[in-house]
Structure 1
Amino acid sequence: MSTLIRRAMGSLLLLTLTACAQSKTLSPPPGGEQVSITVKVPPNLAAEPMRVMYRSEKCPVKRSGAGWSSYEEDGYLSTTVQPQQQGQSDVYEAKLAINGGSRCQWQLSNVTFGVTYANTTRFGENVKAGPGGGSDCDV
Structure 2
Amino acid sequence: MPNTRQGAGGIYDPPAALPTRPDTDTQSPDSGEDGANSADAIAFVYVPTRPYRRAERGQTQHVRFELRQLDDGSPGLAVFTAKERLVAELGIHQPYVRIAALDLLVQVAGAKVRVVIDPELRQGVPRWTEANLQAWRENDDD
Same fold per TM (> 0.5)? no
Larger Rg: 1
Larger strand fraction of residues: 1
TM-score normalised to the size of structure 1?
0.26
Structure number with the bigger relative contact order (C-alpha 8 A, sep ≥ 6) is: 2
TM-score normalised to the size of structure 2?
0.26
